[in-house]
Structure 1
Amino acid sequence: MPVYKNETAKKNQWYYSFQAKDSSGKTKTYTKRGFRTKKEAENAEIAIKDSMNKGTYIQPSKITFGQYLINWLDARTDLRNSTRTGYEMIIRRHITPAPISQTPLSEINAMTIENFMKQVHETEYSDSFKRNIFKVIHKSLRDAERKLLILRNPASLISKPKVAKKEMNYWTEEEAKAFLQAIHGHRLRVIFVLAIHCGMRMGEIRGLRLSDIDLKRGIVSVRHIMDSERNLQIGTKTNAGNRSISLSPFVIKEIDRRIQAIHQERNLAGDKYEDQGFLVCTKKGRPYLKHNCRDIWVRLLKKTGLRQIRFHDLRHTCASLLLGLGVHPKVVQERLGHSSVQITLDTYSHLAPNMQQDAANALQDLLK
């Protein structure tokens, strides 16, 4: 193995150096320094030679960061459609037009990224979107490090953008009651019943199929999520999002009413009906686009005259009402599909102010 040690270097002494023919047939020396151990240098050399044999090798010094990002995203076959679309938009609209995209991949360093992120921070984008831009850079460079295209991920040396905690917005018991009563008889009332009573996300409700519903047992199985373009994706936002939700008699009745309406709509539409098996669908059986459901929500909210909140805040409303009733946070976590009870506690602990007092009183009663 042509791996060597530079005794004069103070640190990262190992390097590889070997000769091979390039794409034009000329013999060229390939050298890369800065490895901490002999094993790292050997692994890097093996990886380079392997990619050369496969014809996929691109000399890091000759590929720009922008070109690398495009190649990186194209090679990521494990991404959800919604995630891929989001990454593609960030790369195309926000990174590619910036000078950082023309910087050679091998020359990207912490200062380069800091300067780029400084410009991002000066925009009016939300804190979460700024963090998403940084996330794309960090993940792409992490993969470049793993593939030995760079020695170290420089984004790991930078603190990720902080997201300011927003004030939680949710309806009270009276507001939730008033809304559901005001839309009684609405064709798609089930959407809002599932959001308020079950804490389901919009994508989970839109992706809910009749085969996921067991009215006899009173259970809804959340197994899929539908993206904004009506693409049904297997699995939900997190592993814990794949869950079974117990239904109250009220919710069972509402779902059954919707199912009966689907049968009637199928008969009326006849051959024009596209039976795709979704609970929430048009009168001809097709699932709704995300913005269609959002438009319905906005219209109903305006019509009822209730306090303006986002559709997603109905999920917060579900959590706040449950915690206010003294339901254990672990049960709330499982119902909402959070990946851990810690997320539930961090997000909603302020909605259950009596928990600490109840604990103090309980211990007092035990020990007095």
Structure 2
Amino acid sequence: MSIRKRTWTTAKGIEKTAWVVDYIDAKGVRRLKTFPKKKDADQFGATAKVEVREGVHVADSDSVTVAAASAFWIATGEDEGLERSSIDQRKRHVELHIKPFLGSTLLSQLTVPGVREFQDKLRKNGRSQVMTRKVLGSLGSLLSDAQERGLATRNPVKDMRSRRRRGKERQADKRQKGKLKVGVDIPTREEIKAIVAAVHGRWRPLLITAIFSGMRSSELRGLRWSDVDLDKAEIAVRQRADDYGEIGPPKSEAGERTIPVPPIVANALREWKLACPRRRISGAEEEEAITELHYVFPTGSGNIESRSNIIKRGFLPSQIAAGVTVQTGEKDKEGQPVVAAKYGGLHALRHFYASWSINRAQDGGLGLPAKVVQERLGHSSITMTMDTYGHLFPRGDDADEMAAAERSLLG
């Protein structure tokens, strides 16, 4: 490898200089790269020398743009059988956030400062903190895929994050995520009682099952009657329905589980089974149609219900009927305050189930150990359970336990 100065005169008689790095890459191909300053050439030469020795160097002429690499990344997801919703999310991140700012940048020229600048641009152009974090995650995954294809040398997103995972920044991340709070993220016992008393019709069995089983909305939508054992009061989670109504396996291996349910669920499902819509399996004419009882919470024609329908027509109106509401700050035509449902998605009911499972019996809960809570929720690891709900578990130094310890010690 050599670094030499090049001098030439333009057609207008102006003398110019540049510094050229002349080297042989890992493939044995001679490469030339020009820099306006010697310090830039020296820096590149030192880096390239190490990369060539390690066999990871990628010359600019062999690299591709971020836009081109994104197409490979999406194709990789399709080949790996990712769900349609995951593929669509990749496409949205690429088209709406990554391409507008980095699309024409070569992977070989993408650096940690460049990624930091990209992050700043996302924020300045109206992306939320949550969206910025998600897009950075997608960019990091895109670059990892490019590395495996030999199109990139480094993953500056990973390098940037590894530098940040220290001290104050790590603590800031924890504070930013925040803890789930009862009455804010998790419905209170009084709110759940009110919802159970107010919900009626076809939404009653669904919401009661969601409250007392902790199932994800996708698992509820894909639940079959063959997975429900009313005699044993158990629900087996064996599949889920995605946002497009396509059936697939549970979210993870741990998602396949059997959940015991209280009598209120078994009784609600037993009544609902008599009225549950059946789906047509053959026959073109109504008189010839053959139907079967298949999905537990289907549409009127027996097919998979949409998530938005469940929320907009079932969960939100049930909260309003139960008085579980918040003020919107607006007023109706008669000057009365307008209220809205307090909890926006069914995941709030899953949070309640987790808290109910954790709470002590004297506090109206099940008092289950952390490992059992993990299994009931279908979390892939106990770490996920504890990171999300660890603060809800009773402490050994709570008032009652401290009083009992004092009596035991002092008599």
TM range (shorter): 0.7 to 0.9
**1:95-244 equivalence runs, <5 A:** 95-98=98-101, 100-159=102-161, 162=173, 163-165=176-178, 167-168=180-181, 169-184=185-200, 186-236=201-251, 238-244=252-258
Q: CA RMSD in A?
A: 3.3
In structure 2, runs of 5+ residues without a counterpart are 4-22, 31-46, 281-285, 326-341, 360-364
Q: Secondary structure at the match of 2:27?
A: strand
- 1:128 partner letter: V
Could you say which residue in structure 1 is the equivalent of 2:263? Answer: 249
Structure-2 separation of matches of 1:34 and 1:290: 55
Structure-2 separation of matches of 1:333 and 1:66: 40
Alpha-carbon distance, 1:134 to partner? 0.6
- 1:205 partner letter: L
Structure-2 separation of matches of 1:121 and 1:322: 39
The number of equivalent residue pairs is: 329
Given that residues 14 and 34 in structure 1 are in contact (C-alpha distance below 8 angstroms), is that contact kept between their aligned partners in structure 2? no
Structure 1 window deviating more from structure 2 (249-258 vs 110-119): it is: 249-258
Given that residues 14 and 36 in structure 1 are in contact (C-alpha distance below 8 angstroms), is that contact kept between their aligned partners in structure 2? no
Alignment match of 2:351 (pick from 316, 322, 342): 316
Alignment match of 1:17 (pick from 27, 45, 59): 27
- 1:16 partner letter: A
Q: 1:164 to 1:123 in 2, by over 3 A?
A: farther
Q: Secondary structure at the match of 2:28?
A: strand
- 2:307 partner letter: K
- 2:357 partner letter: L
Q: 1:355 to 1:277 in 2, by over 3 A?
A: farther
| CA displacement, residues 85-121 of structure 1 (integer Å, 9 cap, x when unaligned) | 11111111111222x1111122111111111111223
Structure-2 separation of matches of 1:164 and 1:344: 15
Given that residues 90 and 138 in structure 2 are in contact (C-alpha distance below 8 angstroms), is that contact kept between their aligned partners in structure 1? yes
Given that residues 374 and 385 in structure 2 are in contact (C-alpha distance below 8 angstroms), is that contact kept between their aligned partners in structure 1? yes
Structure-2 separation of matches of 1:207 and 1:264: 14
Q: Secondary structure at the match of 2:236?
A: strand
TM-score normalised over the length of structure 1: 0.78
Alpha-carbon distance, 1:287 to partner? 0.9
Structure-1 separation of matches of 2:192 and 2:26: 67
Structure-1 separation of matches of 2:104 and 2:2: 35
Alpha-carbon distance, 1:73 to partner? 0.7
Structure-1 separation of matches of 2:121 and 2:287: 57
| CA displacement, residues 146-184 of structure 1 (integer Å, 9 cap, x when unaligned) | 222222211111127945326532222222111111114
**1:20-59 equivalence runs, <5 A:** 33-35=48-50, 40-41=54-55
- 1:260 and 2:295 matched: no
| CA displacement, residues 257-276 of structure 1 (integer Å, 9 cap, x when unaligned) | 2222126797xx76678758
Alpha-carbon distance, 1:65 to partner? 0.5
Structure-2 separation of matches of 1:282 and 1:271: 21
Structure-1 separation of matches of 2:95 and 2:279: 43
TM-score normalised over the length of structure 2: 0.70
Could you say which residue in structure 1 is the equivalent of 2:310? Answer: 293
- 1:230 partner letter: G
Structure-1 separation of matches of 2:370 and 2:407: 23
Q: 1:365 to 1:193 in 2, by over 3 A?
A: same
Q: 1:171 to 1:138 in 2, by over 3 A?
A: same
Structure-2 separation of matches of 1:273 and 1:109: 62
Q: 1:34 to 1:215 in 2, by over 3 A?
A: farther
Alignment match of 2:324 (pick from 306, 314, 318): 306
Q: Secondary structure at the match of 1:220?
A: strand
Could you say which residue in structure 2 is the equivalent of 1:84? Answer: 87
Q: 1:211 to 1:344 in 2, by over 3 A?
A: same
Q: Secondary structure at the match of 2:240?
A: strand
Alpha-carbon distance, 1:251 to partner? 1.2
